[in-house]
Amino acid sequence: MTTEKQMKPETSERVQLVDKRFRVLVIALAMNGIAAFSKIIIGIATGILMITADGMHSLGDTLSNIVCMVSLRYSRRSPDAKYPYGYAKFETVAAFGGCFLLLVGVFEIAERLYHRIVHADAIEFQWWLVGVMAALMMMSAWVVWYETKRGKELLGDSLIVDAAETRNDVLVTAGVLVGLFAVKFGCQWVDALFTLIIMASILISFWQNLKRTFHVLADASVVPELEIMRVAESVPGVQFCHAARSRGRPDALFIDVHIGVLSGISVEEAHDDISHRVKLALQKHFLKKVQCVTIHIEPDHEMARARSQSVFKKGDY
């Protein structure tokens, strides 16, 4: 068996991706902070509770940005003796925690809905409030678009989850605008209906992002087994390939694979030539996102070809 663990320096491609994600979060933090404190100040000045609550919800986005920034700085570290597989999953852990911050928004909105139904608070309609809240909503919408776009480009789970949370803030602000117009036209029930739609949207977003991060933490397969086998079998000298597995993140991929070689070749040729070229082929195919490749070399005979797994059971070792 041969193993290759690439301890990449701080200038590695993955670290560069992490630094780019960090810069995206700095921009998102500034924009979300402006939106949060503007709403809180306006809500307190006008005495409109739902605007103040909206500001507190936006403040949660700001805190989420800070949590993600701290986790990214931690996840950029190179592998060491304590974490030989690297720190990439720390970003996923932060994204996993960020999913539950989405639920905070659900409880906040539910509380506001209950307060609105029970107390039927009267709200004074003012056009300048509509203009300011609409401008803040557009600013948050831009943050959602920017974080989502850059998150997909930079393979950043935390950016996508953070954008999903900010998207809830856009919906909440839209609900505030609907509530203001509902007051103007005497349709108080519209605010309650839109609030229920917001809650449903948050719960759907929570579930989608929870599944994405859980797959990484639970070591779900990252790339198809057949794709790994096809790349390995394309290398001259590889007679067959099986038991291909992958785990990790799209930007920090770990691969285990079994390859068969001719029985008569030397250990040096099997390891230093064929195995090494398989590793290089996999790294090139997956655009240098492979952090580690573990290759088990087997002789090419009928019994070896019959094995299909790498677990400890009769006939598979």
In a domain, 316, yes or no: no
Instruction: Say what the pLDDT of residue 120 is.
Output: 62
Q: Which residue has the higher pLDDT, 185 or 316?
A: 185
In a domain, 317, yes or no: no
Say which residues have a Cβ less than 8 Å from residue 139's Cβ, sequence separation at least 6: 31, 34, 35
Per-residue pLDDT of 131-151, as tens digits, reads: 999 999 999 999 999 999 988
Domain end call among 192, 217, 242: 217
Instruction: Say what the pLDDT of residue 192 is.
Output: 67
| Residue where the block lists tokens 């590889």 | 238
Q: Tell whether the model's pLDDT for residue 309 goes beyond 90.
A: no
| Residue where the block lists tokens 């720390």 | 90
How far is the CA of 168 from the CAs of 29, 140, 174, 210, 226, in angstroms? 16, 10, 10, 16, 39
Q: Tell whether the model's pLDDT for residue 2 goes beyond 50.
A: no
Per-residue pLDDT of 200-255, as tens digits, reads: 777 777 788 788 888 888 888 989 999 999 999 999 999 999 889 999 887 788 99
Residues 73 and 194 in one domain: yes
Q: Tell whether the model's pLDDT for residue 10 goes beyond 80.
A: no
DSSP one-letter string for 98-139: HHHHHHHHHHHHHHHHHHHHHH-------HHHHHHHHHHHHH
Give residue 34's pLDDT band: very low, low, confident or very high (50, 70, 90): very high
pTM: 0.66
Residues 35 and 80 in one domain: yes
Say which residues have a Cβ less than 8 Å from residue 253's Cβ, sequence separation at least 6: 222, 223, 246, 247, 286, 289, 290, 291
HSE-CB at 131 with a 13 A cutoff on CA atoms is 3
Residues 245 and 108 in one domain: no
Residues 46 and 151 in one domain: yes
Domain that holds residue 253: 225-306
Q: Tell whether the model's pLDDT for residue 37 goes beyond 70.
A: yes
Residues 38 and 182 in one domain: yes
Residues 108 and 230 in one domain: no
Q: Which two tokens stand for residue 109?
A: 């909105």
Residues 55 and 167 in one domain: yes
Instruction: Say what the pLDDT of residue 190 is.
Output: 65
**Number of domains making up the chain:** 2
Residues 145 and 254 in one domain: no
Per-residue pLDDT of 72-126, as tens digits, reads: 777 677 788 888 888 778 778 877 877 777 677 677 667 767 776 776 666 666 7
What mean pLDDT value characterizes the chain?
80
Give residue 154's pLDDT band: very low, low, confident or very high (50, 70, 90): confident
Q: In b/e form, how buried is each residue of 57-77, taking b as 16+ CB within 10 angstroms?
A: bbbbbbebbebbbebbeebbe
Over the Cα atoms of the chain, what is R_g? 26
Q: Which two tokens stand for residue 54?
A: 């909206």
| Range in 24-33, 172-181, 189-198 the model is least confident about | 189-198
In a domain, 2, yes or no: no
Domain end call among 197, 217, 237: 217
- What CATH number is attached to the domain comprising 209? 1.20.1510.10
Residues 99 and 204 in one domain: yes
Residues 270 and 131 in one domain: no
Per-residue pLDDT of 272-301, as tens digits, reads: 899 999 999 999 998 767 888 999 998 888
Instruction: Say what the pLDDT of residue 312 is.
Output: 52
- What CATH number is attached to the domain comprising 229? 3.30.70.1350
Residue 66 falls in which region: left (phi positive, over 0), alpha (psi -120 to 50) or beta:
alpha
In a domain, 270, yes or no: yes
Domain end call among 217, 233, 252: 217
Instruction: Say what the pLDDT of residue 131 is.
Output: 92
